[in-house]
Amino acid sequence: MSTTVAGMIFIVSLIAALALVYRPFGDYMYRVYTSVRHNAAERAIYRLLGVRADAEQSWGVYARSLLAFSLISVLFVYGVQRLQDKLPLSVGMKPVTDHIAWNTAISFITNTNWQAYSGESTMGHLTQMAALAVQNFVSASVGMAVAIALVRGFARRSSDTIGNFWVDLVRGSVRILLPIAFVGALVLVAGGLVQNFAGPHEVTTLTGHTQSITGGPVASQEVIKELGTNGGGFYNANSAHPFENATTWTNWLEIFLILVIPFTLTRTFGKLAGQVRQGYAILAAMGVIALAGVLLTNVFELGGHATVPQAVGAAMEGKEVRFGVSNSATFAAATTLTSTGAVNSFHDSYTPFGGMMTLFNMMLGEVAPGGVGSGLYGMLILAVITVFVAGLMVGRTPEYLGKKIGSREIKLASLYFLVTPVLVLVGTAFAMGSAERRASMLNSGPHGLSEVLYAFTSASNNNGSAFAGITVNTPWYDVALGLCMAFGRFLPIILVLALAGSLAAQAPVPESPGTLPTHRPQFVGLVVGVTIILVALTFLPALALGPIAEGLS
């Protein structure tokens, strides 16, 4: 069987599996977020937090609760890292330096999971479990909570509340993420991933040298790393390490875990909005963009359009032999189309246009299907922009899901869209404007620019994957990228919640003959077009100086 055929079977099987779970899982999440009953575990958590679970919150209170929770989480994760040598299960690890501890704390709280450190030689087991893995759960749950709050804004009528942040946070973690992660960890252990509290082991390599290999609670962290579109690996090699990703079928499972919640949330959206076909429309827009991204990444990597790949017959540099070119390209596309920083190959070694696709996928805003929760609310923002543009074209006040898109709503949507490009382009400009900062680049010329551009694109979009080839564990990069992660996460969330509050306060507008149908293929095409055109107009000059220039040289 040829590599291309095997790769297509791999992709088709993923699509079939996602289609199989779409309705039952989407309906289950709908019931989770609409249930009026709290189970015993949830009631215990609410008592511990001092939360009134049945009290609804305005968008401002919802946002303040989210920010307060995130600030406490940052301080906790930072403190655990700085004190880890005094804590149990440190396995001999020293305290993490202040700037890396700051960067890591911000990274995991914002669902970015950017890693400026080598996990197996920096973090003790308790730090990995109590600080990092816990944040993999709750940061993902925060993203889902914001998405659900925005959907409530569309669904509610003349309301000044959008739900309760603490209830949404706890339910997302307890009822959705935890059960799947528990079963998934057992499956991954059966697939060859390690799960223990072992310290470093000295082993003799084939060349006669010794190497220290650390064990640990890997499988339990790996499953939520993918399920929550987090991406932070237990090991520096991330999902290319055999202890994190042992075989082709575990590779398939990890991609499935990455995609399942972001795609399936569109079903939940349709049910909550009371119009299932609207969920299918958003799913279709996500699917078109995602399939194009996966296929183009495969085409560029399988084609091997670069001097060395053409000479050896395949673009295998930086890729694991057990996965091959196609499965590596599919993994790379899946993780950059979502907010998952996991990698099973070295993106810096991709062909120029293959590397460009990983950049472009993130520059789209990671909406196809995007991160857990963040992909849905990002695509809904683009839908709002699309109906506004369509309304201008036909001279009508734009409406979406029965709500008017007025000046306040479009201002919030526009500011949402502008946050990430400003962070990416300004951050890259500052990095390239200093000879000292350029010294962190392994390469010069267009490829070196791509390395820096990728770092700020990954951080600002809360992705967390690395192009590599650039040294980022310096005080300047740790602080700068940490700020991009924080602003790139929380500014858009505040804007989304403000939009949710504005929409919830509106009375529904009855449909008229001039209302744009937002469930038909025409609207899907408009959303896809607006998404791609906005990105192209914003980032094309930077891409032209980096991967495009390299690919054409």
pTM for the model = 0.94
Token pair belonging to 155: 């669904």
* pLDDT over 60 at 312, yes or no: no
Report CA 289 to chain centroid distance, whole Å. Answer: 16
Q: Which long-range contacts (CB under 8 A, 24 or more apart) does 517-525 make?
A: 518/278, 518/281, 518/383, 518/387, 518/400, 518/401, 519/275, 519/277, 519/278, 519/280, 519/281, 520/281, 521/284, 523/281, 523/386, 524/281, 524/284, 524/285, 524/288
Note the pLDDT of residue 308.
Answer: 53
Mean pLDDT of 361-368: 92
Gap between the Cα atoms of 39 and 174, Å rounded: 10
Note the pLDDT of residue 307.
Answer: 55
Of the pLDDT bands very low, low, confident and very high (cuts 50, 70, 90), residue 366 is confident
Mean pLDDT of 135-147: 96
Alpha carbon distances (Å) from 228 to 85, 138, 496: 28, 9, 20
Q: Which long-range contacts (CB under 8 A, 24 or more apart) does 430-439 make?
A: 430/480, 431/455, 431/456, 431/477, 431/480, 436/476, 437/476, 437/477
Token pair belonging to 457: 């694109």
Mean pLDDT of 377-384: 96
Maximum C-alpha span of the chain: 78
Classify the C-alpha dihedral 124-125-131-136 as positive or negative: positive
Q: How many CB atoms lie within 10 A of CB 275?
A: 18
Over residues 349-360, the pLDDT tens digits come to 898 999 999 999
* pLDDT over 90 at 437, yes or no: no
Helices 134-155 and 218-227, axial angle in degrees (round to 10): 20
Mean pLDDT of 298-314: 67
Q: How many CB atoms lie within 10 A of CB 453?
A: 26
The closest alpha carbon to 508, from 268, 266, 159, belongs to 159
DSSP 444: -
Note the pLDDT of residue 370.
Answer: 93
In contact, 334 and 255? CB cutoff 8 Å: yes
Of the pLDDT bands very low, low, confident and very high (cuts 50, 70, 90), residue 292 is very high
Over residues 489-546, the pLDDT tens digits come to 999 999 999 999 999 999 988 877 777 888 999 999 999 999 999 888 899 999 999 9
The closest alpha carbon to 67, from 107, 109, 103, belongs to 109
Over residues 388-412, the pLDDT tens digits come to 998 887 767 788 999 999 999 999 9
Residue 221 CB contacts under 8 Å (≥ 6 apart), including other chains: 128, 129, 132, 133, 136, 234
Mean pLDDT of 107-123: 89
Note the pLDDT of residue 181.
Answer: 96
User: 479-514: b or e for each residue (b if 16 or more CB lie within 10 Å)?
Assistant: ebbbbbbbbbbbbbbbbbbbbbbbbbbbeeeeeeee
Note the pLDDT of residue 207.
Answer: 82
Mean pLDDT of 52-66: 95
Average of per-residue pLDDT values in the chain: 91
How much of the chain, in percent, has pLDDT values that exceed 70? 97
Question: Which spans in 321-373 are helix H?
Answer: 324-337, 352-363
Mean pLDDT of 435-461: 87
Note the pLDDT of residue 433.
Answer: 87
How is 162-200 classified by DSSP, letter by letter?
Answer: ---HHHHHHHIIIIIIHHHHHHHHHHHHHTT--BS---E
User: 381-394: b or e for each residue (b if 16 or more CB lie within 10 Å)?
Assistant: bbbbbbbbebbeee
Higher pLDDT, 38 or 511: 38
Note the pLDDT of residue 290.
Answer: 96
Of the pLDDT bands very low, low, confident and very high (cuts 50, 70, 90), residue 419 is very high
Over residues 163-208, the pLDDT tens digits come to 999 999 999 999 999 999 999 999 999 999 999 988 778 888 778 8
Of the pLDDT bands very low, low, confident and very high (cuts 50, 70, 90), residue 281 is very high
